Amino acid sequence: MGEVKIPDAGGNSITLVEVDGHFFPRIPNEENPIDVIKGIRDITIREDDVFVCAYPKCGTHWVWEMARLLLSEDTDTVINKEKFMIEFLRNDVLEKMPSPRILNTHCLVEQLPRGVFEKKCKIIYILRNPKDMAVSFFHHHTKLIPCYEYHGKWENYLPLLMDGKVDYGSFYTYLKDWAAIGQTHPDVPILTLVYEDLKEDPLAGIRKLAKFLNAEKSEEFYLKVKQLTSFNKMKENKGKFYAAEDGSPVMYRKGEVGDWKNYFTVAQNEAFDRLYKENMAGCDINFRYSSK
C-alpha cells in the first residue's frame, strides 16, 4: 500500500498510489492521500447530494459543469470540479460545503460512500467509447508530469491501459461494475448520459439532465448552459487549472469523437477489439466510435 511505479514495455514507469489493491492518482504535496481514499466509504452523505460518476476521460468535467449550472443558476463563477472530487477531499472539508453538493468520482460502485445507497442519492453516470478514452487518458498521463512522472510512448502505454495498470484500474471492470448497478442497487436513481450523444445534441442532453435533477429551466437558459459548457468555452475558462509543462491545458485537448483513428494502428485496433470482446462477454454496451 502506498506509492508504486508501474513499468511499461519501453522502460518508462507511471507513478500511482495503491490502496487496498486499487490504483489511484498520486497528488503531489497532498497530506495523507491514502487516509483520504480509505475514508471514502464513510463520507457523511446528504439526501440532496448529486454524484457525477465516470471512468476517467469520459466527460466528467463537462457533465459536472452542466449539473452545476442547472442547480445553482450561477453562470458567472468559474469553479474547478476537482474541488468537489471525493478522492481528494477529507470529510471535514466536504461537510463545510453548502447544499446541494455536486460531487464527482471515478470510483467503482463498491467504493462509493455507503450513504449514497442509504439515502438514495441521484447519480449521473457517463459513458464514452473506450478508444477515444484511451487516447485522452494517454495524453492525461503524459502531460501531468508532477502527478504521474510518465514519459512513455503510445505503443507502450496502450498495453498498460488494457491491462488495468492505470489509476482506477481496468475499464472493463469499471464498465461491468456500473452496468450491473441496476441489479445491485435498483432503488438508486441513475441517469446515464453518453458522451457521443452529448456531442451530437448537447441541448437534448441538457434538457434530460435538468429533468432528472428537478431543475427544469427555460429554453433560453438551456442555450446559455450549452454555450458555457462548449469545449472551447470550458477550455478558455478552466484550462488554466491544470496545465502541462508547455502551458497547454491537460483536461481540454480536443474533445472530439473518433480521434482514436489518429493513434491506433490496425494491429492495435484488432487487439483492442479482441480483448474488449473477451473481457466484456455478457455485458452488452453499444459504443459509437465515430461521429454520425
How far is 1 from 141, CA to CA, in rounded Å? 21
Based on DSSP, count helices (H) and strands (E) in the chain, helices before strands: 14, 7
Peptide bond into 98 cis (omega under 30): no
Point out the catalytic residue in the list 106, 139, 140, 141.
106
Q: Are 61 and 124 in contact (CB under 8 A)?
A: no
Residue 184: CB atoms within 10 Å: 12
Task: Output the CA angle 97-99-104, nearest 5 degrees.
Answer: 70
Does the annotation count 22 as an active-site position? no
For residue 71, the one-letter residue type is L
Nearest CA among 37, 3, 2 for reference residue 148: 3
Q: Are 161 and 137 in contact (CB under 8 A)?
A: yes
Nearest CA among 42, 80, 34 for reference residue 61: 80
Residues taking part in catalysis: 106
